[in-house]
Structure 1
Amino acid sequence: MNDIFPKQGLIVSCQALEQEPLHGGDAMAKMARAAVSAGAIGIRTNGVPDIVAIKREVDVPVIGLIKRDMPGSAIFITPTLEEVKAIVAAKADIVALDVTNREGRLETVKALIEYAHEHGAAVMADISTLEEGLAAEELGADFIGTTLSGYTPYSTQQETPDFELLGQLCKAVNVPVVAEGRIWTPEDAAKALNTGASYVVVGSAITRPQLITARYVSALRTR
Protein backbone atom coordinates (compact mmCIF):
# COMPACT_ATOMS: atom_id res chain seq x y z
CA MET A 1 0.00 0.00 0.00
CA ASN A 2 3.00 2.31 -0.05
CA ASP A 3 2.48 3.37 -3.68
CA ILE A 4 -0.41 5.67 -2.79
CA PHE A 5 1.54 8.79 -3.76
CA PRO A 6 2.55 8.94 -7.43
CA LYS A 7 5.77 10.83 -6.73
CA GLN A 8 7.98 12.32 -4.05
CA GLY A 9 6.98 15.67 -2.66
CA LEU A 10 5.29 17.80 -0.06
CA ILE A 11 2.45 16.73 2.20
CA VAL A 12 0.83 19.63 4.02
CA SER A 13 -0.54 19.09 7.50
CA CYS A 14 -3.82 20.98 7.89
CA GLN A 15 -4.72 20.77 11.57
CA ALA A 16 -6.19 23.10 14.16
CA LEU A 17 -6.78 22.01 17.75
CA GLU A 18 -9.95 23.01 19.58
CA GLN A 19 -8.31 25.96 21.35
CA GLU A 20 -6.87 27.40 18.14
CA PRO A 21 -8.52 30.21 16.10
CA LEU A 22 -8.88 28.19 12.88
CA HIS A 23 -10.57 25.21 14.48
CA GLY A 24 -13.95 24.25 13.03
CA GLY A 25 -15.88 25.29 9.97
CA ASP A 26 -14.24 24.91 6.58
CA ALA A 27 -10.90 26.50 7.47
CA MET A 28 -8.84 23.33 7.11
CA ALA A 29 -10.60 22.30 3.90
CA LYS A 30 -9.70 25.68 2.42
CA MET A 31 -6.13 25.29 3.66
CA ALA A 32 -5.98 21.91 1.96
CA ARG A 33 -7.35 23.27 -1.30
CA ALA A 34 -4.80 26.08 -1.25
CA ALA A 35 -1.97 23.64 -0.53
CA VAL A 36 -2.95 21.30 -3.35
CA SER A 37 -3.34 24.17 -5.78
CA ALA A 38 0.28 25.06 -5.06
CA GLY A 39 1.57 21.54 -5.65
CA ALA A 40 1.13 19.56 -2.42
CA ILE A 41 0.80 15.84 -3.21
CA GLY A 42 -1.06 14.95 -0.02
CA ILE A 43 -2.75 16.28 3.11
CA ARG A 44 -2.45 15.20 6.74
CA THR A 45 -5.33 16.17 9.01
CA ASN A 46 -6.84 15.59 12.44
CA GLY A 47 -10.40 14.56 13.23
CA VAL A 48 -13.30 13.06 11.33
CA PRO A 49 -14.97 16.37 10.33
CA ASP A 50 -11.81 17.67 8.68
CA ILE A 51 -11.00 14.32 7.07
CA VAL A 52 -14.45 14.22 5.47
CA ALA A 53 -14.37 17.88 4.42
CA ILE A 54 -10.89 17.66 2.94
CA LYS A 55 -11.68 14.44 1.07
CA ARG A 56 -14.54 16.33 -0.60
CA GLU A 57 -12.32 19.30 -1.39
CA VAL A 58 -9.17 17.74 -2.89
CA ASP A 59 -8.24 14.72 -4.96
CA VAL A 60 -4.91 13.85 -3.34
CA PRO A 61 -4.34 11.18 -0.67
CA VAL A 62 -5.35 12.15 2.86
CA ILE A 63 -3.55 10.98 5.99
CA GLY A 64 -6.03 10.93 8.84
CA LEU A 65 -5.44 10.89 12.57
CA ILE A 66 -7.35 11.66 15.73
CA LYS A 67 -5.62 13.40 18.62
CA ARG A 68 -7.15 12.34 21.89
CA ASP A 69 -6.04 12.86 25.48
CA MET A 70 -6.18 9.56 27.36
CA PRO A 71 -6.17 9.85 31.18
CA GLY A 72 -2.85 8.64 32.54
CA SER A 73 -1.40 8.03 29.09
CA ALA A 74 1.15 9.84 26.93
CA ILE A 75 -0.23 8.28 23.74
CA PHE A 76 -1.99 11.10 21.89
CA ILE A 77 -2.10 10.32 18.16
CA THR A 78 -4.81 7.78 17.29
CA PRO A 79 -4.47 5.96 20.60
CA THR A 80 -7.10 3.20 20.30
CA LEU A 81 -9.00 1.05 17.84
CA GLU A 82 -11.99 3.34 18.27
CA GLU A 83 -10.10 6.17 16.57
CA VAL A 84 -8.80 3.89 13.82
CA LYS A 85 -12.34 2.77 13.03
CA ALA A 86 -13.51 6.38 12.84
CA ILE A 87 -10.65 7.38 10.54
CA VAL A 88 -11.29 4.41 8.23
CA ALA A 89 -15.02 5.16 8.15
CA ALA A 90 -14.21 8.76 7.17
CA LYS A 91 -12.39 7.34 4.10
CA ALA A 92 -8.87 8.51 4.91
CA ASP A 93 -6.37 6.86 2.59
CA ILE A 94 -3.80 6.46 5.35
CA VAL A 95 -4.23 6.12 9.11
CA ALA A 96 -1.50 7.83 11.16
CA LEU A 97 -0.89 6.50 14.64
CA ASP A 98 1.62 6.48 17.47
CA VAL A 99 4.05 3.57 17.18
CA THR A 100 6.41 4.51 19.99
CA ASN A 101 7.84 2.17 22.60
CA ARG A 102 5.71 3.50 25.46
CA GLU A 103 3.13 1.85 27.68
CA GLY A 104 3.38 -1.47 25.84
CA ARG A 105 2.33 0.30 22.64
CA LEU A 106 4.36 -1.92 20.33
CA GLU A 107 2.34 -4.89 21.52
CA THR A 108 -1.12 -3.32 21.32
CA VAL A 109 -0.71 -1.35 18.10
CA LYS A 110 -0.53 -4.43 15.86
CA ALA A 111 -4.30 -4.91 16.05
CA LEU A 112 -4.81 -1.29 15.00
CA ILE A 113 -2.55 -1.71 11.97
CA GLU A 114 -4.30 -4.95 11.00
CA TYR A 115 -7.74 -3.33 11.22
CA ALA A 116 -6.70 -0.48 8.95
CA HIS A 117 -5.28 -2.90 6.40
CA GLU A 118 -8.33 -5.14 6.52
CA HIS A 119 -10.50 -2.15 5.66
CA GLY A 120 -8.41 -0.83 2.79
CA ALA A 121 -6.38 1.90 4.51
CA ALA A 122 -2.61 2.16 4.68
CA VAL A 123 -0.79 3.02 7.92
CA MET A 124 1.74 5.71 8.73
CA ALA A 125 3.69 4.98 11.91
CA ASP A 126 4.66 8.08 13.86
CA ILE A 127 7.90 7.16 15.64
CA SER A 128 10.68 8.86 17.60
CA THR A 129 13.73 6.56 17.33
CA LEU A 130 15.40 4.20 14.87
CA GLU A 131 14.43 1.21 16.99
CA GLU A 132 10.78 2.23 16.84
CA GLY A 133 11.02 2.64 13.07
CA LEU A 134 12.39 -0.87 12.70
CA ALA A 135 9.64 -2.20 14.94
CA ALA A 136 7.01 -0.32 12.93
CA GLU A 137 8.18 -1.90 9.70
CA GLU A 138 8.09 -5.33 11.34
CA LEU A 139 4.53 -4.65 12.53
CA GLY A 140 3.44 -3.89 8.98
CA ALA A 141 3.40 -0.09 8.74
CA ASP A 142 3.35 1.17 5.16
CA PHE A 143 5.04 4.50 5.91
CA ILE A 144 7.32 5.56 8.76
CA GLY A 145 7.40 9.18 9.90
CA THR A 146 9.85 10.97 12.17
CA THR A 147 6.87 12.84 13.64
CA LEU A 148 7.49 12.09 17.30
CA SER A 149 11.24 12.65 17.51
CA GLY A 150 11.66 15.04 20.41
CA TYR A 151 8.20 14.28 21.79
CA THR A 152 9.22 11.19 23.74
CA PRO A 153 11.55 11.67 26.71
CA TYR A 154 14.13 9.22 25.36
CA SER A 155 14.36 10.62 21.81
CA THR A 156 16.63 13.40 20.56
CA GLN A 157 15.59 16.76 22.00
CA GLN A 158 16.28 19.61 19.59
CA GLU A 159 14.60 22.58 17.93
CA THR A 160 15.64 21.60 14.41
CA PRO A 161 14.53 18.66 12.23
CA ASP A 162 16.02 15.31 13.23
CA PHE A 163 17.99 14.71 10.04
CA GLU A 164 20.18 12.15 11.79
CA LEU A 165 17.21 9.91 12.56
CA LEU A 166 15.83 10.50 9.08
CA GLY A 167 19.07 9.35 7.46
CA GLN A 168 19.28 6.29 9.69
CA LEU A 169 15.74 5.25 8.86
CA CYS A 170 16.20 5.74 5.13
CA LYS A 171 19.13 3.33 5.19
CA ALA A 172 17.53 0.79 7.53
CA VAL A 173 13.95 0.25 6.33
CA ASN A 174 12.37 -0.77 3.04
CA VAL A 175 9.16 1.24 3.32
CA PRO A 176 8.91 4.95 2.45
CA VAL A 177 10.17 7.30 5.15
CA VAL A 178 8.31 10.53 5.82
CA ALA A 179 10.19 13.51 7.25
CA GLU A 180 8.02 15.37 9.74
CA GLY A 181 8.66 17.63 12.67
CA ARG A 182 10.09 21.14 13.06
CA ILE A 183 10.53 21.69 9.32
CA TRP A 184 10.23 25.48 9.11
CA THR A 185 11.89 26.41 5.83
CA PRO A 186 11.92 25.28 2.20
CA GLU A 187 15.61 24.58 2.69
CA ASP A 188 14.80 22.15 5.51
CA ALA A 189 12.27 20.40 3.28
CA ALA A 190 14.75 20.09 0.42
CA LYS A 191 17.40 18.76 2.79
CA ALA A 192 14.94 16.12 3.99
CA LEU A 193 14.46 14.83 0.45
CA ASN A 194 18.20 14.93 -0.15
CA THR A 195 18.69 12.91 3.03
CA GLY A 196 16.50 10.18 1.56
CA ALA A 197 12.93 10.93 2.62
CA SER A 198 10.24 9.93 0.16
CA TYR A 199 7.88 12.62 1.42
CA VAL A 200 8.05 15.71 3.62
CA VAL A 201 5.21 16.79 5.91
CA VAL A 202 5.07 20.48 6.78
CA GLY A 203 2.33 21.83 9.02
CA SER A 204 3.00 24.67 11.41
CA ALA A 205 5.14 26.66 8.97
CA ILE A 206 2.27 26.71 6.45
CA THR A 207 -1.07 26.28 8.19
CA ARG A 208 -0.77 27.59 11.76
CA PRO A 209 -0.65 31.39 11.53
CA GLN A 210 -0.51 31.91 15.29
CA LEU A 211 2.76 29.95 15.47
CA ILE A 212 4.19 31.62 12.39
CA THR A 213 3.35 35.03 13.85
CA ALA A 214 4.86 34.07 17.21
CA ARG A 215 8.20 33.32 15.54
CA TYR A 216 8.27 36.76 13.94
CA VAL A 217 7.27 38.46 17.20
CA SER A 218 9.96 36.57 19.11
CA ALA A 219 12.60 37.49 16.55
CA LEU A 220 11.68 41.15 16.74
CA ARG A 221 11.73 41.18 20.51
CA THR A 222 15.16 39.59 20.73
CA ARG A 223 16.87 41.40 17.86
Structure 2
Amino acid sequence: MDRQQQLRSLQGGLIVSCQAPADSPLHQPEMIAAIAAAAVQRGAIGIRLDTPEHVRAVRDRLPDTPIIGLWKRTFPESPVYITPRYAEAEAIAAAGADIIALDCTLRPRPDGEDFRQIIPRIQQELGRLVMADVDTMEAAIAAAEAGADLIGTTLYGYTEATQGRTPPGWDLLAAAVQQIPNTPMICEGGIASPQAARQACDRGAFAVVVGTAITGIDLQVQAYVAALNARL
Protein backbone atom coordinates (compact mmCIF):
# COMPACT_ATOMS: atom_id res chain seq x y z
CA MET A 1 0.00 0.00 0.00
CA ASP A 2 1.51 3.35 -1.03
CA ARG A 3 1.29 6.55 1.02
CA GLN A 4 -1.81 7.91 -0.63
CA GLN A 5 -3.60 4.59 -0.19
CA GLN A 6 -2.60 4.54 3.48
CA LEU A 7 -4.04 8.00 3.96
CA ARG A 8 -7.26 7.18 2.12
CA SER A 9 -7.74 4.12 4.30
CA LEU A 10 -8.05 6.39 7.35
CA GLN A 11 -10.42 8.98 5.92
CA GLY A 12 -13.64 9.42 7.85
CA GLY A 13 -12.83 6.66 10.29
CA LEU A 14 -12.18 5.99 13.95
CA ILE A 15 -8.63 5.47 15.16
CA VAL A 16 -8.48 4.02 18.66
CA SER A 17 -5.60 4.92 20.93
CA CYS A 18 -4.74 1.79 22.92
CA GLN A 19 -2.56 2.92 25.78
CA ALA A 20 -2.38 2.32 29.52
CA PRO A 21 -0.42 3.80 32.44
CA ALA A 22 2.89 2.09 33.15
CA ASP A 23 1.59 0.78 36.50
CA SER A 24 -1.60 -0.66 35.02
CA PRO A 25 -2.12 -4.43 34.59
CA LEU A 26 -3.15 -3.53 31.04
CA HIS A 27 0.32 -2.17 30.24
CA GLN A 28 1.42 -5.48 28.76
CA PRO A 29 1.95 -6.07 25.02
CA GLU A 30 -0.49 -8.97 24.90
CA MET A 31 -3.17 -6.97 26.70
CA ILE A 32 -2.76 -3.94 24.45
CA ALA A 33 -2.89 -6.22 21.41
CA ALA A 34 -6.15 -7.77 22.63
CA ILE A 35 -7.70 -4.33 23.20
CA ALA A 36 -6.58 -3.26 19.72
CA ALA A 37 -8.02 -6.41 18.15
CA ALA A 38 -11.35 -5.80 19.88
CA ALA A 39 -11.41 -2.22 18.56
CA VAL A 40 -10.70 -3.34 14.99
CA GLN A 41 -13.26 -6.14 15.23
CA ARG A 42 -15.89 -3.52 16.04
CA GLY A 43 -14.99 -1.19 13.20
CA ALA A 44 -11.95 0.91 14.09
CA ILE A 45 -9.89 1.59 10.97
CA GLY A 46 -6.59 2.29 12.75
CA ILE A 47 -4.78 2.01 16.07
CA ARG A 48 -2.52 4.49 17.87
CA LEU A 49 0.12 2.97 20.16
CA ASP A 50 2.98 3.88 22.47
CA THR A 51 6.32 2.02 22.72
CA PRO A 52 8.02 -0.36 20.28
CA GLU A 53 6.91 -3.38 22.30
CA HIS A 54 3.24 -2.51 21.98
CA VAL A 55 3.56 -1.64 18.29
CA ARG A 56 5.25 -4.97 17.62
CA ALA A 57 2.60 -6.94 19.53
CA VAL A 58 -0.26 -5.26 17.69
CA ARG A 59 1.48 -5.61 14.31
CA ASP A 60 1.81 -9.35 14.93
CA ARG A 61 -1.87 -9.60 15.91
CA LEU A 62 -3.19 -7.22 13.22
CA PRO A 63 -0.87 -7.43 10.22
CA ASP A 64 -3.09 -5.36 7.91
CA THR A 65 -4.33 -2.64 10.27
CA PRO A 66 -2.82 0.86 9.95
CA ILE A 67 -0.79 1.68 13.06
CA ILE A 68 0.15 5.15 14.24
CA GLY A 69 3.13 4.59 16.52
CA LEU A 70 4.91 6.81 18.99
CA TRP A 71 7.30 6.47 21.88
CA LYS A 72 6.80 8.59 24.97
CA ARG A 73 10.16 9.32 26.56
CA THR A 74 11.07 12.12 28.95
CA PHE A 75 14.31 14.08 29.05
CA PRO A 76 15.23 16.63 31.74
CA GLU A 77 16.21 19.35 29.27
CA SER A 78 12.98 19.34 27.25
CA PRO A 79 9.19 19.19 27.78
CA VAL A 80 8.78 17.25 24.51
CA TYR A 81 8.01 13.59 25.17
CA ILE A 82 6.06 12.20 22.19
CA THR A 83 8.74 10.65 19.95
CA PRO A 84 11.17 13.41 20.94
CA ARG A 85 14.13 12.32 18.77
CA TYR A 86 14.76 10.60 15.47
CA ALA A 87 16.10 7.59 17.41
CA GLU A 88 12.64 6.96 18.88
CA ALA A 89 11.02 7.31 15.44
CA GLU A 90 13.47 4.79 14.03
CA ALA A 91 12.63 2.27 16.76
CA ILE A 92 8.89 2.70 16.23
CA ALA A 93 9.27 2.21 12.48
CA ALA A 94 11.34 -0.93 13.04
CA ALA A 95 8.59 -2.29 15.31
CA GLY A 96 6.08 -2.08 12.45
CA ALA A 97 4.26 1.26 12.60
CA ASP A 98 2.97 2.68 9.32
CA ILE A 99 2.76 6.25 10.59
CA ILE A 100 5.08 7.89 13.12
CA ALA A 101 3.51 10.43 15.47
CA LEU A 102 5.74 13.06 17.01
CA ASP A 103 5.42 16.26 18.97
CA CYS A 104 5.67 19.15 16.53
CA THR A 105 5.08 21.96 19.00
CA LEU A 106 7.46 24.90 18.83
CA ARG A 107 9.40 23.83 21.90
CA PRO A 108 13.05 22.80 22.24
CA ARG A 109 13.71 19.10 21.74
CA PRO A 110 16.30 16.85 23.41
CA ASP A 111 19.77 16.85 21.85
CA GLY A 112 18.96 20.02 19.92
CA GLU A 113 17.00 18.15 17.25
CA ASP A 114 14.27 19.90 15.24
CA PHE A 115 11.10 18.32 13.87
CA ARG A 116 11.74 20.14 10.60
CA GLN A 117 14.71 17.83 10.09
CA ILE A 118 13.11 14.76 11.66
CA ILE A 119 10.03 14.72 9.41
CA PRO A 120 11.87 14.37 6.06
CA ARG A 121 14.23 11.79 7.56
CA ILE A 122 11.28 9.65 8.67
CA GLN A 123 9.74 9.90 5.21
CA GLN A 124 12.90 9.38 3.19
CA GLU A 125 15.06 7.10 5.34
CA LEU A 126 12.33 5.08 7.06
CA GLY A 127 9.69 5.24 4.34
CA ARG A 128 6.95 6.10 6.84
CA LEU A 129 4.23 8.72 6.99
CA VAL A 130 4.34 11.38 9.71
CA MET A 131 1.57 12.57 12.00
CA ALA A 132 2.46 15.90 13.61
CA ASP A 133 0.97 16.34 17.07
CA VAL A 134 0.49 20.09 17.58
CA ASP A 135 -1.01 22.54 20.04
CA THR A 136 -1.38 25.82 18.14
CA MET A 137 -2.06 27.11 14.65
CA GLU A 138 1.51 28.37 14.42
CA ALA A 139 2.80 24.87 15.09
CA ALA A 140 0.34 23.36 12.61
CA ILE A 141 1.55 25.67 9.85
CA ALA A 142 5.19 24.89 10.66
CA ALA A 143 4.47 21.15 10.57
CA ALA A 144 2.69 21.45 7.22
CA GLU A 145 5.59 23.45 5.80
CA ALA A 146 7.97 20.73 7.03
CA GLY A 147 5.99 18.16 5.04
CA ALA A 148 3.91 16.36 7.68
CA ASP A 149 1.44 13.94 6.08
CA LEU A 150 -1.17 14.39 8.84
CA ILE A 151 -1.61 16.95 11.60
CA GLY A 152 -3.34 16.18 14.89
CA THR A 153 -4.81 18.49 17.52
CA THR A 154 -3.35 16.09 20.09
CA LEU A 155 -1.50 18.57 22.29
CA TYR A 156 -4.12 21.32 22.42
CA GLY A 157 -4.58 22.14 26.10
CA TYR A 158 -1.49 20.21 27.20
CA THR A 159 1.30 22.73 26.62
CA GLU A 160 2.38 26.02 28.09
CA ALA A 161 1.10 27.82 24.99
CA THR A 162 -2.41 26.38 25.44
CA GLN A 163 -2.60 26.34 29.21
CA GLY A 164 -6.16 26.79 30.43
CA ARG A 165 -7.75 25.56 27.21
CA THR A 166 -9.81 22.39 27.26
CA PRO A 167 -9.80 19.79 24.47
CA PRO A 168 -11.24 19.15 21.95
CA GLY A 169 -9.42 21.88 20.08
CA TRP A 170 -12.38 22.94 17.96
CA ASP A 171 -10.92 26.36 17.20
CA LEU A 172 -7.57 24.88 16.19
CA LEU A 173 -9.28 22.25 14.02
CA ALA A 174 -11.44 24.83 12.25
CA ALA A 175 -8.54 27.21 11.63
CA ALA A 176 -6.25 24.46 10.35
CA VAL A 177 -8.88 23.02 8.01
CA GLN A 178 -9.33 26.51 6.58
CA GLN A 179 -5.69 27.58 6.39
CA ILE A 180 -3.99 24.26 5.57
CA PRO A 181 -6.50 22.63 3.23
CA ASN A 182 -3.99 20.27 1.61
CA THR A 183 -2.89 18.55 4.83
CA PRO A 184 -5.40 16.19 6.47
CA MET A 185 -6.33 17.16 10.03
CA ILE A 186 -6.85 14.53 12.70
CA CYS A 187 -8.97 15.50 15.70
CA GLU A 188 -7.47 13.96 18.83
CA GLY A 189 -7.90 14.86 22.46
CA GLY A 190 -11.04 15.29 24.49
CA ILE A 191 -13.36 13.30 22.21
CA ALA A 192 -15.55 11.75 24.89
CA SER A 193 -18.64 10.57 22.99
CA PRO A 194 -19.75 9.26 19.60
CA GLN A 195 -21.55 12.55 19.07
CA ALA A 196 -18.32 14.51 19.59
CA ALA A 197 -16.54 12.26 17.11
CA ARG A 198 -19.23 12.95 14.52
CA GLN A 199 -19.00 16.65 15.30
CA ALA A 200 -15.25 16.55 14.65
CA CYS A 201 -15.79 15.12 11.18
CA ASP A 202 -18.58 17.61 10.51
CA ARG A 203 -16.06 20.35 11.32
CA GLY A 204 -13.65 19.03 8.73
CA ALA A 205 -11.55 16.43 10.53
CA PHE A 206 -10.06 13.82 8.18
CA ALA A 207 -10.35 11.19 10.93
CA VAL A 208 -10.81 11.02 14.69
CA VAL A 209 -8.60 9.52 17.39
CA VAL A 210 -10.30 8.43 20.61
CA GLY A 211 -8.39 7.05 23.57
CA THR A 212 -9.51 7.50 27.16
CA ALA A 213 -13.24 7.37 26.43
CA ILE A 214 -12.84 3.90 24.87
CA THR A 215 -9.69 2.27 26.25
CA GLY A 216 -8.79 4.34 29.31
CA ILE A 217 -10.10 1.97 31.95
CA ASP A 218 -7.72 3.24 34.63
CA LEU A 219 -8.61 6.91 34.14
CA GLN A 220 -12.31 6.23 33.70
CA VAL A 221 -12.54 4.23 36.92
CA GLN A 222 -10.61 6.92 38.81
CA ALA A 223 -13.04 9.56 37.54
CA TYR A 224 -16.09 7.56 38.60
CA VAL A 225 -14.62 6.81 42.03
CA ALA A 226 -13.66 10.46 42.56
CA ALA A 227 -17.18 11.58 41.66
CA LEU A 228 -18.75 9.10 44.06
CA ASN A 229 -16.34 9.94 46.88
CA ALA A 230 -17.02 13.65 46.45
CA ARG A 231 -20.59 13.18 47.66
CA LEU A 232 -19.58 11.47 50.91
Range of TM-score over shorter length: over 0.9
Residues 2, 122 of structure 1: 8 Å contact kept: no
Q: How many angstroms apart in 2 are the aligned matches of 1:175 and 1:182?
A: 22
Residue number in structure 2 paired with 1:73: 78
The one-letter code sitting in structure 1 at the alignment partner of 2:141 is: L
SS at structure 2 position matched to 1:124: strand
Relative distance call for 1:3 and 1:152 in structure 2 (3 A) is farther
The one-letter code sitting in structure 2 at the alignment partner of 1:73 is: S
Q: Structure 2 residue aligned with 1:148, among 135, 146, 155?
A: 155
The one-letter code sitting in structure 1 at the alignment partner of 2:199 is: K
Residue number in structure 2 paired with 1:199: 207
Residues 149, 157 of structure 1: 8 Å contact kept: no
TM superposition shift of 1:222 = 4.5
**Matched residue pairs, number?**
223
Q: How many angstroms apart in 2 are the aligned matches of 1:213 and 1:40?
A: 23
Q: Structure 2 residue aligned with 1:92, among 97, 114, 121?
A: 97
Q: How many angstroms apart in 2 are the aligned matches of 1:205 and 1:154?
A: 25
CA deviation profile, 1:143-202 (whole Å, cap 9, x unmatched): 000000011111253334111111111111111100001111111111111110011000
SS at structure 1 position matched to 2:49: strand
CA deviation profile, 1:3-45 (whole Å, cap 9, x unmatched): 4142311000011232233112401100100000110010000
TM superposition shift of 1:47 = 0.5
- 2:68 aligned with 1:63: yes
Q: Aligned ranges for residues 91-170 of structure 1 at < 5 Å?
A: 91-103=96-108, 108-118=114-124, 119-155=126-162, 157-170=164-177
Q: Structure 2 residue aligned with 1:180, among 185, 188, 193?
A: 188
Residues 146, 181 of structure 1: 8 Å contact kept: yes
Identity between Structure 1 and Structure 2 (%): 43
Scaled by the length of structure 1, the TM-score of the pair is 0.94
Q: How many angstroms apart in 2 are the aligned matches of 1:201 and 1:221?
A: 31
Q: CA RMSD in A?
A: 1.8
Residues 103, 132 of structure 2: 8 Å contact kept: yes
TM superposition shift of 1:107 = 7.0
Residues 51, 92 of structure 1: 8 Å contact kept: yes
Residues 17, 23 of structure 1: 8 Å contact kept: yes
- 2:91 aligned with 1:83: no
Q: How many angstroms apart in 1 are the aligned matches of 2:116 and 2:32?
A: 30
Relative distance call for 1:160 and 1:109 in structure 2 (3 A) is closer
SS at structure 2 position matched to 1:154: helix
Scaled by the length of structure 2, the TM-score of the pair is 0.90
Q: How many angstroms apart in 1 are the aligned matches of 2:98 and 2:196?
A: 26
TM superposition shift of 1:218 = 3.2
Q: Quick check: which one's helix share is greater?
A: 2
CA deviation profile, 1:39-87 (whole Å, cap 9, x unmatched): 0010000010110111111221000000001112100000011101101
TM superposition shift of 1:91 = 2.0
SS at structure 1 position matched to 2:57: helix
Residue number in structure 2 paired with 1:12: 16
The one-letter code sitting in structure 2 at the alignment partner of 1:48 is: P
